[in-house]
Amino acid sequence: MKQLKAASLITAIKTPYNAIGEVDLNTYDTLVQKQIDAGVDGIVVGGTTGEGHLLSWEEHLILIAHSVHKFGDKLLIIGNTGSNNTSEAIKATKNGFAAGMDATLQINPYYGRTSIAGVIEHLNRTLDIGPAFIYNVPGRTGQDLTPDIIEILAKHKNFIGVKECGGNDRIAYYEKQGIACWSGNDDESYVGRHEHGSHGVISVTSNIIPGLMRQLMDKADLEETAKLNDSLQGLMQWLFCEPNPIAINTALMMTDAVPKNFRLPYQALTLEQRAIGFELIKAVAKKDLVGDSLSLLADSDFNYCI
């Protein structure tokens, strides 16, 4: 639990695909190694950015097991095994821990929303299985996990903390109570860390600039990192110009870090959107980028799979 709480930079790692839409483990391994080289503390496997919702449970659990086997001695492996179905969440979480993951990321039931009492019971059942981060992202679930809910869950022995998308005021409130928080908003994460006391960030942006995100989370030379944070705001905001993970997928394809294969229903950013991103990415030093080159790409360069 101490090691999990000490993790200040966790990457919600992308899942790459080959030309027929299967998970591309060779490219995945390269992406994860880039995270390790940059000093990232852990990865979330099969999260929103990793398109866990587009993976079968078999693919999802194989990817968790593969990550543990290949990288479990080098960084923390956090499996996104949550679901809006309590039975599925319990089964997937048990299987994830059986495969060796260090912790789970759990979300409140989305779409088929339940009562506050139902949310608490759902999350307590998954907390019973092993260490868990609770993810509050009301923009996706349609239901805010307010402090009255989190304060109850935080009493559980397996509660690690919250990935909080509700802003830095909410994070500061929790941290003052001793409830660990990780920002779910990259563009707010630097201020959240250094001004509001967050434990760190669970990041999308670190897929493409892990070393720079490492610098933002570290506490050395805050004047320089404040300038760095300001310089990266445009890129961070562009990465959310469409629902995540559309932009990060497109960006990693533009830098040739991953094959140009999307699983539907995701499609690449438009040419106009890519042109904006191209200039933002071009402003980053090549040594700080994941990927070997940068190109705008044509619409015909992208392949769409099921």
Instruction: Tell me which of 135, 174, 190, 260 is the catalytic residue.
Output: 135
- Determine whether 163 is an active site residue: yes
Instruction: Tell me which of 163, 174, 190, 260 is the catalytic residue.
Output: 163
Give 215-218's long-range contacts (Cβ < 8 A, gap of 24+): 216/189, 216/190, 217/8, 217/9, 217/189, 217/190, 217/193, 218/8
User: Which among 23, 53, 82 has a CA at the least distance from the CA of 245?
Assistant: 53
Query: Distance (Å, rounded) from C-alpha 81 to C-alpha 8?
Result: 21
Helix (H) or strand (E) holding 227: helix 222-238
With residues binned 3-state (H G I as helix, E B as strand, rest as coil), the percentages for the chain, rounded to 5, are: 45, 15, 40
Q: Where are the beta strands (DSSP E) in the chain?
A: 9-12, 42-45, 76-80, 103-107, 132-136, 159-164, 181-183, 200-203, 261-263, 303-305
Residues carrying an active site annotation = 135, 163
